[in-house]
Every structure is written in structure tokens, then in C-alpha cells.
């Protein structure tokens, strides 16, 4: 029984798939779109990058979201749609004034905040669990973008894809300084890399706001989450491997968010592990029950 037990202890039992919440998803979408709108403005004179961020932003806020908002506030929905189109029209234009683009992005982002206030009750906006789930959503997008940026062949949001041999130096609370001697990972998609960096910053800002409404029971975990978020930003900025980046999210940030804010994660047993567990149970049954029969 030594082999099954060793495998059980060396393999992650839980993949961090979280129970969904529609308000948390909307909060995340708004923050993700705001992040991309700022990137459109900052890259407004670079047609390739600006259009990449336009396309990415449409994954977060498009016709469906506008139609949903129009049911509650048709005027805001119309104004928001116009503001989005205005910013999109600037993307990639020659001699566009960056100041104008940033102003349009700021106005657009203010409208998005207003949309969030109208669609999400103040109770849910001040619910630490919902806000922490929104952070999880933003972090997932950061991982997706970083995977695309470095040309990863695996899904960084799926913790079963982690190379557990990289655990050394990655325990909670450690910073990334011990990895400074490692060579950086080549970036194959600059737009995705910009999004990963910006979304990591967004997650940090969201966490800073979350701390203001965090329950006292979360105090033991807040510093750990904050340190891990800084580690994440440094790892992305230093162009560490996709595995190293996903390790920070799955092994440091997620567990502490779960403990701090009572997030419910869906337990998943990867198939090889499930077979090991079943085998272990059978062995125990045979060794303890059958001799008595």
C-alpha cells in the first residue's frame, strides 16, 4: 500500500474549479473590459496591438451585455455602446492623440462602473466572497493571456497541468528573488503579454479594495494573498515560465482565497489519481474485511 499512498500525497487532489456566481462574473467582465480599454488607448497608434486589444475586449463586453443593460437603463446602454464604438474607431488610426484616447477610455470606464452599480446590488458589491470570486475570474484571464503570450501548449488555468517538480522555492510567502538567475521565457504574442501584465495589476487593485470589506476571520490570509499577488506580477514581468506563473496562482493565491473568503471549489479527481484511490480502497477492503469472512 506504500505506492498508492505516495501517489496520493504527491498529486494535487483538488483542481481549482469554483462554483460560479453571475454577479462575480459580471464584476470580472467589467474589470477585464476596463483593462483592455486602457490598453487600446495606450497602444492607440499601433494598429496591430490596438486591434488585438479591441478583439480581446469584445470577449468581455459585447452586444449581449449591452442588451442586458438596456433592460434596466436604455440610456446608459446606448451611451456606453457609443463610447465603445468611439474608442474602437481610434484604434490604429495614424496620428491619434494618446491624450484623447485616454480620455475616451476614462469616460468609458466610468460608464462601466455605473453599469455595474445598476446591475449589481450594493449588498453583493460589498460581499467579500463575491468580490474574491471576481478576482479569481480576472486571474484566470491573466493565466490564459500569459499562456498565449509565451506560446504554452497547456492550459495554465488547469492545475492538473502543473509540473509539481517545480515546487521548490514556490511555497506560500516566498518571493521570486530566488529565481532571478533563470533565463526569461520568449514572448510570442506581445498583445497577450500586455494583457497578462495589466490583468495582474487589476487583480492587485481589486484585492486592495477587497481588504476594506474583508471579514476579521480573513486576517491570517490577507498578507499571504498580497505577497503572492506581488510574486505573480514579478513573475510575469520577469517572463518566468508558464508553469512557474500558474504555480503561484494555484498553489499560493487560490488556497488562501478559499480559506479567507469561504469560496467553494469543486473537487476534481484527475482520472489517474481516481484509479489510485479506488485501488487503495480495494486493497484496504481486501486486507481488513475478507479475512474476517
Q: Which residues of 214-239 are buried (b: 16+ CB within 10 A; e: fewer)?
A: beeebeebeebbbbbbebbbbbbeeb
Per-residue pLDDT of 195-239, as tens digits, reads 999 999 999 999 999 999 999 999 999 999 999 999 999 999 999
Q: Helix axis angle, 22-42 relative to 128-149, nearest 10°?
A: 50
Among 5, 14, 3, which residue's Cα sits nearest to residue 162?
A: 14
Per DSSP, the three-state class of 46 is: coil
Q: What is the longest distance spanned by two Cα atoms in the chain?
A: 86
CA gap 92, 76 in Å, rounded: 27
DSSP class of residue 192 equals H
Closest CA to 55 of 151, 192, 147: 192
What are the residue ranges spanned by the domains of the chain? 2-161+185-269
> What pLDDT was estimated at residue 267?
58
Residue pair 14/267 in contact (Cβ under 8 Å)? The answer is yes
Summarize pLDDT for 6-40 with one digit per residue, the tens.
333 333 333 457 777 999 999 999 999 999 999 99
Measured between its terminal Cα atoms, the distance across the chain in Å is: 21
- Rounded Cα distance, 263 and 236, in Å: 25
Which one, of 34, 118, 48, 50, lies nearest residue 83 by Cα?
34
Please tell me the distance from the alpha carbon of residue 251 to that of residue 162, in angstroms, as a whole number: 10
Q: Rounded CA gap, 2 and 284, in Å?
A: 12
Cell, residue 241: 515560465
* Rg from Cα positions in the chain: 22
When pLDDT is averaged across residues 70-87 and rounded to a whole number, the result is: 95
> Could you tell me what percent of the chain has a pLDDT over 70?
78
pLDDT of residue 288: 54
Give the cell for residue 289.
Answer: 474485511
Helix, strand and coil content of the chain, in percent to the nearest 5, comes to 70, 0, 30
Whole-number pLDDT of residue 14: 39
Q: Mind listing the pLDDT tens digit for each residue in 177-204?
A: 334 445 789 999 999 999 999 999 999 9
φ, ψ of residue 216 in degrees (nearest 5): -60, -30
Structural contact between residues 246 and 159, judged by C-beta atoms closer than 8 angstroms = yes
pLDDT of residue 95: 82
Beta strand 265-266 with 17-18: parallel, antiparallel or unpaired? antiparallel
Confidence label for 293 from pLDDT (cuts 50, 70 and 90): low
Q: Which pLDDT band holds residue 152 (cuts at 50, 70, 90)?
A: very high
Amino acid at each position: 500500500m506504500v505506492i498508492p499512498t505516495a501517489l496520493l500525497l504527491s498529486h494535487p487532489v483538488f483542481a481549482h474549479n469554483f462554483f460560479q456566481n453571475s454577479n462575480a462574473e459580471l464584476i470580472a467582465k467589467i474589470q477585464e473590459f476596463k483593462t483592455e480599454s486602457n490598453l487600446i488607448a495606450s497602444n492607440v497608434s499601433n494598429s496591430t496591438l490596438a486591434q488585438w486589444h479591441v478583439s480581446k475586449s469584445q470577449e468581455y463586453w459585447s452586444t449581449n451585455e449591452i442588451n442586458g443593460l438596456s433592460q434596466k437603463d436604455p440610456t446608459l446602454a446606448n451611451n456606453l455602446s457609443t463610447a465603445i464604438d468611439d474608442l474602437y474607431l481610434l484604434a490604429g488610426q495614424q496620428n491619434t492623440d494618446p491624450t484623447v484616447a485616454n480620455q475616451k477610455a476614462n469616460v468609458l470606464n466610468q460608464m462601466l462602473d455605473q453599469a455595474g452599480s445598476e446591475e449589481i446590488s450594493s449588498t453583493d458589491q460589498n460581499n467579500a466572497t463575491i468580490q474574491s470570486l471576481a478576482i479569481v475570474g480576472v486571474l484566470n484571464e491573466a493565466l490564459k493571456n500569459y499562456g498565449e503570450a509565451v506560446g504554452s501548449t497547456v492550459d495554465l488555468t488547469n492545475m492538473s497541468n502543473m509540473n509539481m517538480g517545480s515546487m521548490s522555492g514556490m511555497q506560500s510567502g516566498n518571493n521570486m528573488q530566488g529565481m532571478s538567475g533563470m533565463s526569461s521565457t520568449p514572448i510570442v504574442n506581445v498583445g497577450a503579454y500586455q494583457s497578462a501584465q495589466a490583468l495582474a495589476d487589476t487583480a492587485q487593485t481589486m484585492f486592495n479594495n477587497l481588504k476594506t470589506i474583508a471579514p476579521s476571520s480573513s486576517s491570517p490570509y490577507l498578507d499571504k494573498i498580497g505577497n503572492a499577488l506581488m510574486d505573480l506580477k514579478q513573475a510575469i514581468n520577469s517572463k518566468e515560465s508558464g508553469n512557474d506563473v500558474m504555480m503561484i496562482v494555484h498553489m499560493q493565491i487560490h488556497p488562501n482565497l478559499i480559506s479567507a473568503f469561504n469560496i467553494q471549489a469543486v473537487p476534481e479527481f484527475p482520472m489517474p489519481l481516481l484509479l489510485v484511490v479506488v485501488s487503495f480502497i480495494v486493497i484496504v477492503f481486501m486486507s481488513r474485511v475478507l479475512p474476517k469472512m
